[in-house]
Every structure is written in structure tokens, then in C-alpha cells.
Amino acid sequence: MSIVELRDVHKVYQLGKTQVPAVRGVSLQIDVGDFVSITGPSGSGKSTILNMIGCIDTPTQGEVYIQGQCTSGLKDRQLTVLRHRTLGFIFQSFNLIPVLNVLENIEFPLLLGKPIMDSGAKKDWLEYLVEAVGLHEHIRHRPSELSGGQRQRVAIARALVTKPHIVLADEPTANLDSKTGQSIVELMHKMNEELNTTFIFSTHDPSIVSMAHHVIPLLDGQVVSQP
Amino acid sequence: MRTVLKTAVRSVFRQKRRSLLLAGAIAFGMLMITLMNGFTEGMLTNVRDNLSHALGGHVFVSGQEITETGRVVSRIDFDDRLQTLLETNSAEIASITRRSQTFGTVVFGSRQSAQMLYGVDFQAEERLRTSVAVTAGSLEAVMEDDQAIALPDSLAQRLGVELGETVLIRLDTVTGQRNVGEFWVRAFIEDQAELGMSAAFGHRAYVNTLLNLPSDSYQSLNLFLHDLFAADKMADQFRDVLPLRPVGEDGDDQAAAFGFGPFGQQQAPEPWDGIRFTIATINDIMEPIEAVVLVLDRLSLGVFAVLLVIIVVGITNTFRMIVLERTKEIGTMRALGMQRPTVRRIFLAEAAFLGLFGGVVGLGLALGAMTVVSRLTVAEPGLQFFLAQGRFTFQLVPQVVLLHFAILTFVCLASAYWPARSAADLPPIKALGGHL
Ligand SMILES: Nc1ncnc2c1ncn2[C@@H]1O[C@H](COP(=O)(O)OP(=O)(O)O)[C@@H](O)[C@H]1O
Ligand SMILES: [Mg+2]
């Protein structure tokens, strides 16, 4: 069974009096453990689709299914719980909480909602993540003391901390130089393999696209039929 | 909850200058109201103490009789009921004074001056012996001779009288005849004029003779209590037991109780038989002063209110700005699974922390200022009435301080509420700026 499914999803933005169709009838399925890249030129609807999968935006028409659950009609509170339990997020500009240090940033999602592991398991898990993203020497640092690549590593650990089934990343390398960007996607790939977490990320960088298991090419809000 | 507090407290220190400004305003509000309240409370206590010292008691009992000719005469002879009252309340009474008093004219050579004269029982009035500041001679010397007298310094200077000399005092007896007594000057005492009191002290037995009263009668009975706040209760008890003098239209019965009124001159509004008592307490005379203090308190409350308004405006604006600044963070936290109420709580906790912090600092500053000011000695005679031993004293009522804390915190919370709500209500996608 696919872990993410979009059925004829449309998204129309209202821009003043004009309607901007950002996504025009996209249907797709993504399987558990996949490492998928959504590609396409700027304005093709990558972000819009990721937002809808991420339950921070809703389709104008059509349905989004996460682990078989239809997200339409869910209340804000339920969507928030769904995001917290099932989804992890990696942001374009890292979005770490500036007042928290590295370890606290990674731990942050665990402090929301009901506890999902006991403190012993939590300690081991955090240690594993810190080690996995290679930041054990920086756990007491504030985000402002880190480089872009390091910040994104923190973000990757944070996205994984609740053991989500799906991690979403909208152009996670957009604010990094190409070499660092490459290493970030490599790290994502490593975690994908180690934890079997489904990764869905967007990019328009061909060298990164090549690392994906599957590619969903977008153009003008529609999936381009693959050659 | 821990996350909320941690994030909130640390956020306060993000923009130190801005937080400092807000906390400063809050601290200033707390400082003002605490200082003002502490000052007025302390002043009230001092005035009460000084007054009871000047008036010689906390509860004042006077007795009046009507003579055959229809004159009202201030006079208390031995009275069973009064004696029983004093005995049953003896645990609460610190000391008792029984005095006669009159306004007389002190004559020395060609000079003369009007003067309040107390006839006291020096043996019984230990408090008087210890509290009066003697500038020349001694009270022991006064106690040796029945006709001896202690005169206020200022009077002695006006008359040019020296220790050991003799003065004449012209006065009216209770029955209205003129009389003159010869007094031997044995002590000068510090003028208590700044307390509104300047009195000469002679022996009650001798003063009574001049007033045409039996030597062991007296005109007023003053009680010092251990706890002056028990004064009203005790006065009520006395009023329940003793026959009271009918209340005159002009209220001079109360003045009579303090020994202020015109003595023995007034006509009774409706005649009575035997002795009638008038009972007053220090609180009765404190009423107008308390009214002034109330006005002061209201004023400081007004200033506090104005400061609160400034704080409200400041916090509301600042938090609006903070919400704008942290929009992306709010979006991030929401995406990561933070529920709306938690977002709201983070901002409210930040405001509460600011309020508490400012409040504590303000209170600390107020306590510091009080300590410094209360160390200064003020010589200004006109102020002595409000001071204790020449010093300002401050008194804080813990409940009131707590109340001010609560008000401050509440105001901070209320001002941050709408910005906090708008932060919580931001749709995550908007807060994030359209993309993850
Ligand atoms: N909030 C919005 N209001 C109006 N138009 C929008 C909004 N967000 C995106 N769009 C439009 O929708 C289309 C798709 O945008 P987006 O999903 O951001 O594409 P991509 O991420 O591939 O660059 C673009 O034409 C963009 O201008
Ligand atoms: Mg985009």
C-alpha cells in the first residue's frame, strides 16, 4: 500500500481578483521507504504539492491520503496531531528555534503532544541521531553558531526524532552551496536506508535529482508523463 | 509545559533592550506604588504613635457632672463600673494615666502667657517620666514638692523664668471662680509644639486644689494599650457599660474627651444626674488624617493606573512586533506539531515572566530606597509629626504587595493576550511564508 496518495488534486490560489491555478489535477502514489524527488522549474507547483502532503495546506479539489487516511475535513487540531505523529519536516532555510541549542532543537518535537518513548529510550535515540548527523561536538551550540550545512543536519535529526513515517523537504539545499547540498541529500539518503523512512523532497538541481529512487517531474502544476 | 516556559523565558532575553525597557516600565510602576504605600502606611503609624504620645493614650475617658447651678463640670471620682472595666481589661492595658487639666495664664513678673497645664500623678505615670525630654532641672526635683512644676522650654524663654524661681498661674475653678496658684519651677522640658502640644506638668493634687476638685479626683482617664488596634473594641466595651453623656449638637463632647474643649463653661444640652462619660479613641482623631492618607493612596493608585496604561500599550505593541518577527518560528513550531493553545501559552508565559521580573525588580528597588531613606535623620521640625525619632519609616502590607503583583501580572497577560491569540491563529502555511 502506498503511504502517500494524491487523487486528482487541484490547488487554486486567489490572488486579488485573479485565480492562480498552482496544481492542476495531480494524482500520484508514493510507497513506504521510497526516496522521491519532486522536480520541475520554479513555479511548477513543487512547494504547493509538498504543503498539501505536509498537511499545512489543503487542496481546492481532490484528496490527499496519508497512510490511507483522507486528510480532507480534518480539523486543525487533528491535522496537527497527524503532522506530529506521521510527518517530519526539513525546511529550505532550516528554521531552527534560535533560543534553543542543538540538542534542544532536535528534542523539541518530542516535547510536544504525548510522550512517545520513555526517558531511557529517548536518551539513546537522541544520542544515535546526534551521532548519525555528525553533531556530537556541537550539541550545546545555538543555531547562530553553526554553518548552514550544520544547521540543516540539525534539522534532519529534528525531522526524524519522532520516528515519522514520512519526511518532507522542500528544496532542502536551496540555501547551501552545491557540495554541502550534496552531502545533505546523502545524509537524507543514509537515514532513509537506515530507518526505512519515506523521504519526499523537491529540487531543481539535476545532480541531486539523480540521487532519488523515483522522480516526479512537474510542469505548470501537472505531472509530466515520464518518457 | 517545560518547553513552553523554557522557550518563553529565553525569548525574553532575545531583544534585551526591548525587554529591559518593558521590564523597566513595570518595575517603575511597582516601585512607585510600593514606595507610596509603604510611605503612607509608615506615616500613619508614626502619626498615630506621635499623637497617642502627645495626647497621652489610645483610649480617652472623661467624665462630666452637672452642678446645682447647671454647669457642666469635668470630673471623675472613684467609680465601680470604671474600676471593673479597667480590671477586666488589665491584660490589654499597658498603662493608665489619670489627669486633671486646664488652660491657665502663667504669670512671671510683668509677663504672662496662656498655657495648657496638666495635673498628673508622677508616681503613677512612668511613661511620662521616660518620654518627656528634660532640658534643665529634673523631674525628680519636680516630684519632690507638691507645688513644683515642669514648664515647656519655649514658655520659660518667653517669660524669662529661671530654674528655682516661682511663677503664678491664673485659672478658673470647675465651678467658674477665678483662682491663682503659686508654682515652683523645677524643670524645663522640650517643647512638643511640633506635635501640636505644649504642656506644663504639675502635681494633680495641687492642680485639683486650685480647680476646686477633691485631691484624688481627676478629669480624664487615658489608656495606653499594648495593641493600639484594640482601641476601638475596648472603647465600645466602655461605651456599653458606662452611662454616656448625651451627644451634643456641635460635637464638642468629643473634644472634651481629649481635653480640648472649653472646660466647665458650656451648658448641658439636656441635663442629667450623676456622672456621664465620654469615650474616644486615637482613631477618632486619626480620621481626618486617614482621610488625607486615603487621598494620597488614591493619588498613587492613579499614578499606578497611568503607568499600567503605559505598560498595556507598551506590551501590546511590543508583542505585536514580536509576533511579526517570529512568524516563521511560529509556523515551524506549528508544522512540527505544536497545537494552537501551546503557541498562545508561550507568548503569555513570556509576558508573565516579564511582569514578574519587572515586579520583583521594582519591589527590590523600593525596598532599597526605603532602607536608604529610613536611615536619614530629618531635623525639619514641621515634619516631626510624621516621623519616628526624626526618621521616615515605611510599612508594607504583604497582602497589598501581593495584590499589586497580581495586578501587574494580570495586566501583562491581558495586554499580551490578543497578540498571543493572533499568533496562535496564524495558519501554519501563512506563517511559514508559503513553503516548508
Ligand atoms: N500564496 C500564493 N498566492 C498566489 N499564488 C501562489 C501562492 N503560492 C504559490 N503561488 C503560485 O502557484 C504556482 C506554484 O507555486 P509553487 O508551488 O511555489 O511552485 P515551486 O515551488 O515549484 O516554485 C506559482 O505560479 C506561484 O506563483
Ligand atoms: Mg518552491
Residue B258 pLDDT: 53
Residue B418 pLDDT: 95
C-alpha cell read off for B10: 529565553
Average pLDDT score over residue span A24-36: 95
C-alpha cell read off for A1: 500500500
Residue B244 pLDDT: 87
Residue B269 pLDDT: 61
Take atom 13 of ligand 1 and give the residue whose Cα is closest.
A22
Instruction: Report d(CA B139, CA A217) in Å as an integer.
Output: 112
Task: Pick from A47-51, A175-179, B198-202, B395-399 the range whose average pLDDT is largest.
Answer: A47-51
C-alpha cell read off for B201: 506638668
Average pLDDT score over residue span B189-208: 80
Instruction: State the pairing for strand pair B111-120/B199-203.
Output: parallel
Q: Residue B111, SS3?
A: strand
Q: Is the pLDDT of residue B264 over 50?
A: no
- Whether B207 and B218 have beta carbons less than 8 Å apart is answered as no
Instruction: Report d(CA B415, CA B313) in Å as an integer.
Output: 7
B336 and B276 fall within a common domain? no
Residue B297 pLDDT: 85
Q: Which residues contact B84 (CB under 8 A, 6 or more apart)?
A: B241
B338 and B398 fall within a common domain? yes
Q: Which residue(s) pair with B167 in the sheet?
A: B183
Residue B194 pLDDT: 52
B201 and B314 fall within a common domain? no
Q: Is the pLDDT of residue A6 over 90?
A: yes
For residue B399, name the pLDDT band (cuts at 50, 70, 90).
Answer: very high
Residue B389 pLDDT: 79
Question: What are φ and ψ of residue B97, in 5° steps?
Answer: -120, 140
Q: Is the pLDDT of residue B3 over 90?
A: no
Q: Is the pLDDT of residue B257 over 70?
A: no
**How many Å separate Cα A61 from the centre of its chain?**
22
Phi-psi label, residue B275: left if phi above 0, alpha if psi -120 to 50, beta otherwise: beta
Last residue of a domain, one of B256, B281, B306: B281
Give yes or no for residue A48 CB within 6 A of ligand 1.
yes
Average pLDDT score over residue span B182-205: 82
Separation of CA A173 and ligand 2 centre (Å): 12
- Sign for the CA dihedral angle at A137, A139, A141, A147 comes to positive
CB of A108 less than 8 A from some CB of B: yes
Instruction: State the pairing for strand pair B178-189/B148-152.
Output: parallel
Task: Pick from A76-90, B36-50, B94-108 the range whose average pLDDT is largest.
Answer: A76-90
Residue B124 pLDDT: 86
Give yes or no for residue A173 CB within 6 A of ligand 1.
no
For residue A113, name the pLDDT band (cuts at 50, 70, 90).
Answer: confident
B191 and B293 fall within a common domain? no
Average pLDDT score over residue span B218-236: 89
Give the domain ranges of chain A.
Answer: 32-47+75-223
Nearest CA in chain A to B424: A76
Instruction: Report d(CA B351, CA A164) in Å as an integer.
Output: 34
CATH superfamily name and code, A32-47+75-223:
P-loop containing nucleotide triphosphate hydrolases (3.40.50.300)
CB neighbour burial string for B234-273, b if at least 16 within 10 angstroms, e if fewer: bbebbeeebeebeebeeeebbbbbbbebebbebebeeebe
Question: What are φ and ψ of residue B264, in 5° steps?
Answer: 65, 5
Percentage, residues of chain B above pLDDT 70? 93
- Whether A151 and A143 have beta carbons less than 8 Å apart is answered as yes
Give yes or no for residue A97 CB within 6 A of ligand 1.
no
Average pLDDT score over residue span B271-300: 85
Q: Is the pLDDT of residue B156 over 60?
A: yes
pLDDT digits (tens, 9 = 90+) for B18-34: 888 899 999 999 999 99
Q: What ipTM does this complex have?
A: 0.95
B129 and B248 fall within a common domain? yes
Residue A196 pLDDT: 94
pLDDT digits (tens, 9 = 90+) for B408-431: 999 999 999 999 999 999 999 999
Domain annotation covers residue B269: yes
B266 and B300 fall within a common domain? no
Set of chain B residues whose Cβ sits within 8 Å of the Cβ of A100:
6-7, 10
- Whether B168 and B182 have beta carbons less than 8 Å apart is answered as yes
Q: Decide: residue A144, CB within 10 A, 0-12 exposed, 13-18 middle, 19+ buried.
A: exposed
Instruction: Report d(CA A122, CA A130) in Å as an integer.
Output: 12
Residue B265 pLDDT: 44
Q: How far is CA A158 from CA A50, A107, A154, A176, in A?
A: 18, 7, 6, 18
Q: Do B434 and A113 touch (CB under 8 A)?
A: no
More confident residue, B162 or B6: B162
The DSSP annotation for B77-101 comes to ---HHHHHHHHHTTTTEEEEEEEEE
B179 and B60 fall within a common domain? yes
Instruction: Report d(CA A188, CA A167) in Å as an integer.
Output: 9
Q: How far is A37 from chain B (nearest CA, A)?
A: 15
Residue type (1 letter), A116? I
Q: Is the pLDDT of residue A87 over 90?
A: yes
Domain annotation covers residue B314: yes
Last residue of a domain, one of B264, B281, B298: B281
Last residue of a domain, one of B260, B281, B302: B281
Average pLDDT score over residue span A145-169: 95
pLDDT digits (tens, 9 = 90+) for A164-215: 999 999 999 999 999 999 999 999 999 999 999 999 999 988 889 999 999 9
Separation of CA A103 and ligand 2 centre (Å): 29
Instruction: Report d(CA B205, CA B143) in Å as an integer.
Output: 12
Percentage, residues of chain A above pLDDT 70? 99
For B104-108, B168-172, B390-394, which range has the lowest pLDDT when averaged over its residues? B390-394
Q: Is the pLDDT of residue A75 over 60?
A: yes
Average pLDDT score over residue span B282-311: 87
B20 and B66 fall within a common domain? no
Q: Among the atoms of ligand 1, which is closest to the Cα of residue A204?
A: 22
Q: How far is CA B178 from CA B211, B328, B396, in A?
A: 9, 96, 53
Q: Is the pLDDT of residue B343 over 60?
A: yes
Domain annotation covers residue B313: yes
B33 and B100 fall within a common domain? no
Instruction: Report d(CA B78, CA B186) in Å as an integer.
Output: 31
Set of chain A residues whose Cβ sits within 8 Å of the Cβ of B436:
47, 50-51, 54, 56, 89-92, 168-170
Residue-range definition of the domain harbouring residue B337:
2-50+287-431
Residue B195 pLDDT: 55
Instruction: Report d(CA B289, CA B44) in Å as an integer.
Output: 8
C-alpha cell read off for B230: 484594640
Residue B420 pLDDT: 95
- How much is the mean pLDDT over chain B? 86
For A28-42, A92-106, B182-196, which range has the lowest pLDDT when averaged over its residues? B182-196
End-to-end Cα spacing for chain A: 25
Average pLDDT score over residue span A26-39: 95
Instruction: Report d(CA A124, CA A119) in Å as an integer.
Output: 9
Residue B390 pLDDT: 82
Q: Residue B124, SS3?
A: coil
Residue B255 pLDDT: 52
Q: Hunting for cell 510600593 — which residue is that?
A: B34
B264 and B220 fall within a common domain? yes
- Sign for the CA dihedral angle at B383, B389, B393, B395 comes to negative
Percentage, residues of chain B above pLDDT 90? 48
Question: What pTM did the predictor assign?
Answer: 0.76
Q: Among the atoms of ligand 1, which is closest to the Cα of residue A170?
A: 21
B416 and B300 fall within a common domain? yes
B225 and B166 fall within a common domain? yes
Residue A227 pLDDT: 54
Count of domains for chain B? 2
Q: Do B340 and A77 touch (CB under 8 A)?
A: yes
Domain annotation covers residue B436: no
- Sign for the CA dihedral angle at A189, A83, B426, A143 comes to negative
